[in-house]
């Protein structure tokens, strides 16, 4: 019980801080008088008040967090904060059910980008800004942000950072102190976001849309302030800016940090994922555009290249923007795009899926097994660059792939049993677990998740959390051994 109360103490502090993040949309609402100011005032009071009560009640249980505490705090943060993030949606849109509002908040904080809302063009700007802000906060990870400020609150952050950081190799340090690492990552994230804002404004967006979409581009979340997403502008220049920054956000932010610190690009050449990620993106954009031109979907090869490139990069990086309804393309391409969303982005990026590093490790392990079958005595260590991959990491990746595959199957079966057709159920399961957002069928790029029942919405919300926490972090708290002394 003392362990749980110590975690609740930190959680209360984080909820109070999270309430302060609503000041940004509140300021906009009051500045332009869009009618939603009261929504954020009540949300801030409720969020900060509950956080304050939690902190005061458990303040005598404050202590240094251990490994198990870190896992528990991560799970609680990602499951509890959406309950506060959804308050502005519930207050302003009372017709929303709790399940739909929670889905919208989870989708934002997990940087998934699937939405249950329609008529986005007519929502108050402050509500849309809040949608974009929670994607931005969740993109890099609220826990990593907390690591930067927890020392100020008297709580060490290393175990939290270790539990939160995505990817199979979590032990490497960028700086001697973990808080400095978190601050460095957020500094890079913030500067890239500012650059994206300026680029969108230069390309033709107004200031609000530039800020809103910069948040969701760097967070690879895909929320838009328009129902037509990027089809609203129908601008090749704006799409080009989006593609560039989506690719940037799909690369490990630790690599960006090292490049910034060294003031050169050597870290990108030595990154075991970046080269493969960009090469696969280039090959798929060219290949799919040629296919669309060949089958006559687009008569102009440059038009085919434009639409194929934007939508392929958007889906593969698990962003979820769309510039056209790609679900009407030959089914081969949308299914390939779903497959790309499973592995293309780098570990340490804001994207979802199993990540490029795990895919490469899996490839090397398959290659090793084939060589061993032909030459049983051969020694063929798996390597990423010049680094030999330990057996422990290989086994962890194999287990991860197994859980990932089983989760998709189970989620698909549950959604199918609940009444969804096979295409919608499968694509929704893949899109939510990969934190992609739009799927195919009833949840395709021209649709929303609004048509799902409450049960189906809760299933998809759980799938998004499962994918964002990369399975182990969430599942470990359900085993009895976790709670034993």
One digit per residue, the tens of pLDDT, for the chain of length 485 reads 667 788 888 899 889 999 999 999 999 999 999 889 999 999 999 999 999 999 998 888 777 777 777 788 888 889 999 999 999 999 999 899 999 999 999 999 999 989 999 899 999 999 999 999 999 998 877 556 555 544 544 444 555 555 555 555 454 555 556 667 777 888 889 999 999 999 999 999 999 999 999 999 999 998 999 999 999 999 999 999 999 999 999 998 888 888 888 888 888 888 888 889 999 999 999 999 999 999 999 999 999 999 999 999 999 999 999 999 998 999 999 999 999 999 898 888 888 888 888 888 888 888 888 888 888 777 777 777 677 777 778 888 888 899 999 999 999 999 999 999 999 999 999 999 999 989 999 998 988 999 999 999 999 999 999 998 888 778 888 888 777 76
Determine the Cα–Cα distance for residues 328 and 318; give it in Å rounded to an integer: 19
Determine the Cα–Cα distance for residues 310 and 296; give it in Å rounded to an integer: 19
pLDDT tens across 267-308, in order?
888 888 888 999 999 999 999 999 999 999 999 999 999 999
For 297, the 3-state DSSP assignment is coil
For residue 482, what pLDDT is reported?
Answer: 76
DSSP string, 6-44: HHHHHHHHHHHHHHHTTHHHHHHHHHHT-S-HHHHHHHH
Determine the Cα–Cα distance for residues 447 and 438; give it in Å rounded to an integer: 8
**Could you say which DSSP state residue 390 is in?**
P
Determine the Cα–Cα distance for residues 233 and 88; give it in Å rounded to an integer: 28
Record the tokens describing residue 334, joined without a space.
Answer: 């949308």
pLDDT tens across 121-179, in order?
999 999 999 999 999 998 877 556 555 544 544 444 555 555 555 555 454 555 556 66
- Whole-prediction pTM value? 0.90
Cα 222 to Cα 317, 319, 438: the distances in Å are: 10, 5, 9
For residue 152, what pLDDT is reported?
Answer: 45
For 479, the 3-state DSSP assignment is coil
Q: Which of 230, 232, 77 is nearest to 147 (CA)?
A: 77
For residue 449, what pLDDT is reported?
Answer: 93
Which position has the token pair 């804002």? 197
Residues 6+ apart with CB under 8 A from 341: 315, 316, 317, 318, 352, 353, 430, 431, 434, 436
For residue 171, what pLDDT is reported?
Answer: 47
């Amino acid at each position: 019980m003392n362990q749980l109360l110590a975690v609740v103490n930190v959680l209360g502090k984080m909820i109070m801080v999270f309430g302060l993040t609503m000041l940004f949309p509140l300021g906009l609402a009051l500045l332009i008088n869009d009618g939603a100011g009261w929504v954020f005032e009540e949300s801030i009071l409720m969020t900060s008040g509950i956080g304050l009560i939690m902190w005061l009640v458990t303040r005598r249980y404050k202590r240094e967090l251990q490994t198990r505490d870190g896992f528990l705090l991560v799970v609680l943060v990602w499951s509890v904060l959406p309950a506060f993030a959804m308050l502005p949606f519930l207050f302003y849109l009372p017709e929303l059910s709790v399940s739909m509002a929670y889905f919208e908040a989870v989708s934002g904080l997990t940087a998934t980008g699937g939405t249950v809302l329609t008529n986005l063009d007519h929502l108050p700007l402050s509500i849309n800004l809040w949608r974009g802000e929670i994607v931005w906060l969740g993109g890099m990870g609220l826990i990593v942000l907390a690591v930067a400020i927890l020392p100020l609150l008297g709580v060490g952050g290393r175990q939290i950072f270790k539990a939160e950081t995505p990817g199979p190799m979590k032990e490497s340090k960028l700086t001697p102190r973990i808080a400095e690492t978190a601050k460095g990552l957020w500094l890079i994230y913030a500067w890239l976001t500012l650059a994206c804002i300026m680029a969108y404004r230069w390309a033709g967006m107004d200031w609000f849309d530039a800020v809103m979409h910069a948040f969701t581009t760097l967070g690879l979340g895909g929320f838009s302030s328009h129902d037509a997403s990027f089809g609203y502008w129908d601008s090749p220049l704006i799409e080009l800016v989006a593609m560039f920054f989506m690719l940037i956000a799909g690369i490990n932010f630790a690599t960006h940090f090292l490049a910034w610190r060294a003031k050169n690009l050597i870290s990108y050449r030595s990154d075991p994922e970046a080269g493969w990620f960009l090469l696969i993106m280039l090959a798929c954009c060219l290949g799919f555009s040629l296919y669309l031109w060949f089958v006559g979907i687009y008569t102009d090869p440059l038009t085919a290249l434009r639409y194929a490139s934007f939508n392929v990069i958007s889906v593969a990086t698990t962003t979820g923007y769309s510039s056209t309804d790609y679900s009407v393309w030959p089914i081969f391409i949308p299914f390939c795009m779903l497959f790309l969303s499973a592995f293309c982005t780098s570990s340490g990026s804001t994207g979802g899926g199993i990540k490029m590093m795990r895919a490469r490790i899996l490839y090397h392990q398959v290659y090793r097994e084939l060589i061993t079958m032909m030459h049983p005595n051969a020694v063929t260590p798996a390597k990423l660059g010049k680094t030999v991959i330990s057996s422990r990491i290989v086994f962890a990746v194999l287990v991860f792939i197994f859980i990932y595959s089983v989760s998709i199957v189970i989620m698909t079966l549950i959604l199918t049993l609940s009444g969804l057709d096979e295409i919608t159920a499968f694509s929704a399961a893949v899109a939510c677990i990969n934190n992609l957002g739009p799927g195919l069928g009833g949840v395709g790029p021209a649709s929303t998740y609004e048509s799902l029942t409450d049960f189906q919405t809760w299933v998809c919300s759980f799938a998004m959390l499962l994918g964002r926490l990369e399975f182990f972090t969430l599942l470990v708290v359900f085993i009895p051994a976790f709670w034993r002394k």
